[in-house]
Amino acid sequence: MTSTSVRVTNLPAIKNAPLVGLAEGNSSFNNIHLVALIFGVPYVLKSILPLVCRGGLKTYVFLVVLTVAPTTIAYWTLNSIYGARKNEKIQLPGKDLEQYITIKDEQLRTNYNGKVKIPMQVFHDAYFDGKVDFNGEVLNIMEARLDWAKMNFTPELFKYVLTEFLPEVIVHSQSQDEEQVRGHYDRGDDFYEWFLGPRMIYTSGIILNPDIEESLETLQDNKLAVVCNKLGLKPNDRLLDIGCGWGTLVAYAAKNFGCDATGVTLGKNQAKFGEERIRKNGVSERARILCCDYRDIPTGKGAYTKIVSLEMAEHVGVRRYSSFLSQVYDMLDDDGVFVFQVAGIRPSWQYEDLIWGLFMNKYIFPGADASCSLGWVINKLEGAGFEIKNVDVLGVHYSATIYQWYKNWVSNKSRVIEKYGERWYRIWVFFLAYSTIISRQGSASVFQITMHKNLNAYHRVKGVANHSSIHVKLQKEPILVE
């Protein structure tokens, strides 16, 4: 394996990539070529097919409608299989597949062996079913995935997109969201604690010192301090946390800043856990968790002076994104501040990014289809009437956080398998290992955006004092987690 210009890092803050883990994948795609094929294939067919060639414009339009789906599928498939890597500065080792994984299923072993790579979707489904095993530590083998796995679109992926993903994107009903969120987050608090640790925060932490390995608790405490600083919380504030999870930020804000804090979650277990955390921290008189859909938040216009939503909007969906942001705008006081954290896939994607995203949607966060680029998110926020004050891109911070989750999960392997079974352990160890890599290499990132209403009467100068991005040092009391 050789490289002419690619450098590795060796900073304690993250799981550093080996050289093979920095290789680029295939990103071959061209919208102009696809459009030309969509309209060109029917034209060719109309020209050469008997009888059809006698038709006019209506016949051509009918052929366009008839062939658009198979033409698009064929284009995506062929490009994902035969397209060139973005660059080849790193030459892959070219080892046999058997050096990395052991295939126990006879049919799969016949199809994929030696230098014949296995499609990533075929691999992870087989791994979850126990038909394939890693030859070593999961994260280390995943670092070399481009040497043994193909990032191509498979029939199973197209089936999922057409029969499940797209219908969910189009519908995104309240009942659908409730079923998916509760089916995910009400699995069991112990399941999540085995990787989230005592803070029970399922969003990215923040690195403040890349020269040391900060603990998961430190990363999350850094994030809590940064978010509250960006909000500029004061005792007279009314804070709303939309998608509050297990309520840690709500308890932290009420405890350390004396504000009135309300959290909202669809998870019944989360709401119960959060209320208990609030009670243990002695802030029940000014903090609470509501178990309801965001559309049912009881509120009047301008009811909250500060609003925060950390990695919840992905579940809102593309279709309802603008209406959600308009609702937030209406709930926020005209002098209020909104801190919004959301994950998204890079617009200059590689096929690996899309395949990982579909895996996440199917197995980890069903219904979370609004993981869009930063530019798309900013356009939506500005369209809803907000003015952007600050944007922090926290992808590598997420990698550090997920790596700590991964290590926690592996250390609790026997407990997970005993209560939830081998399949759940395998799905989550794959998810955490792969996501450590994905967020580190930029395939997906997370954006923390601070904003206020774009009104003439908003006193922007008052926001200068806390316009310090992530480098804040607030000495606050940690949350009680016993």
**Could you give the number of structural domains in the chain?**
3
Q: How far apart are CA 167 and CA 319, in angstroms?
A: 11
The verdict on 119 and 195 lying in the same domain is: no
The verdict on 36 and 140 lying in the same domain is: no
The verdict on 387 and 439 lying in the same domain is: yes
For residue 220, is it within any domain? Answer: yes
Q: Closest Cα to residue 200, out of 238, 250, 239, 240? A: 250
Give the model's pLDDT for residue 179: 65
If you average pLDDT over residues 269-273, what whole number do you get?
95
Give the model's pLDDT for residue 183: 65
Question: Residue 286 belongs to a domain with what CATH number?
Answer: 3.40.50.150
What is the DSSP pairing of strand 260-265 with strand 149-150? Answer: unpaired
For residue 299, is it within any domain? Answer: yes
Give the model's pLDDT for residue 273: 96
CB atoms within 10 A of CB 414: 9
If you average pLDDT over residues 193-200, what whole number do you get?
97
For residue 165, is it within any domain? Answer: no
For residue 212, is it within any domain? Answer: yes
For residue 8, is it within any domain? Answer: no
Average pLDDT, the chain: 94
The verdict on 199 and 285 lying in the same domain is: yes
Q: Closest Cα to residue 145, out of 89, 83, 101? A: 101
If you average pLDDT over residues 332-340, what whole number do you get?
97
Taking only the tens place, the pLDDT of each residue in 85-129 is 999 999 999 999 999 999 999 999 999 999 999 999 999 999 999
Residue scoring higher pLDDT (323 or 474): 323
Q: How far apart are CA 412 and CA 429, in angstroms?
A: 11
The verdict on 76 and 107 lying in the same domain is: no
Taking only the tens place, the pLDDT of each residue in 386-398 is 999 999 999 999 9
The verdict on 416 and 363 lying in the same domain is: yes
Give the model's pLDDT for residue 478: 73
Question: Model confidence at 278, in pLDDT bands (50, 70, 90)?
Answer: very high
Question: Model confidence at 301, in pLDDT bands (50, 70, 90)?
Answer: confident
The verdict on 30 and 138 lying in the same domain is: no
Residue 476: which residues within 8 A CB-CB, separation 6 or more? 224, 225, 228, 252, 256
The verdict on 227 and 368 lying in the same domain is: yes
For residue 158, is it within any domain? Answer: no
If you average pLDDT over residues 209-214, what whole number do you get?
96
Whether the CA torsion 323, 439, 397, 273 is positive or negative: it is positive
DSSP state of 462: G
Q: Is residue 3 scored above 70 in pLDDT? A: no
Q: How far apart are CA 247 and CA 52, in angstroms?
A: 64
> Phi and psi dihedrals of 396, rounded to 5?
-70, -25
Q: Which residues pair with 387 in a beta bridge?
A: 452
For residue 312, is it within any domain? Answer: yes
The verdict on 250 and 395 lying in the same domain is: yes
Distances (CA, A) of 266 to 174, 280, 292, 396, 454: 11, 22, 5, 29, 30
User: In the structure encoding, which two tokens stand for residue 84, read together?
Assistant: 């060139």
Q: How far apart are CA 156 and CA 121, in angstroms?
A: 8
Q: Is residue 1 scored above 60 in pLDDT? A: no
Its pTM stands at 0.94
Radius of gyration of the chain (CA): 24
The verdict on 280 and 200 lying in the same domain is: yes
- Domain range for residue 66? 26-87
DSSP state of 315: G
Question: Model confidence at 177, in pLDDT bands (50, 70, 90)?
Answer: low
Give the model's pLDDT for residue 181: 64
What is the DSSP pairing of strand 332-345 with strand 386-393? Answer: unpaired
Give the model's pLDDT for residue 300: 78
- Percentage of the chain beyond pLDDT 70 is 95
- Percentage of the chain beyond pLDDT 90 is 86
For residue 6, is it within any domain? Answer: no
**Residue written as token pair 């006081």:** 333
> Phi and psi dihedrals of 461, rounded to 5?
-65, -25
Give the model's pLDDT for residue 119: 98
Q: Closest Cα to residue 325, out of 398, 287, 376? A: 376
| Residue at which a domain ends, from 87, 110, 128 | 87
The verdict on 44 and 128 lying in the same domain is: no
The verdict on 318 and 220 lying in the same domain is: yes
Question: Model confidence at 51, in pLDDT bands (50, 70, 90)?
Answer: confident
DSSP state of 83: P
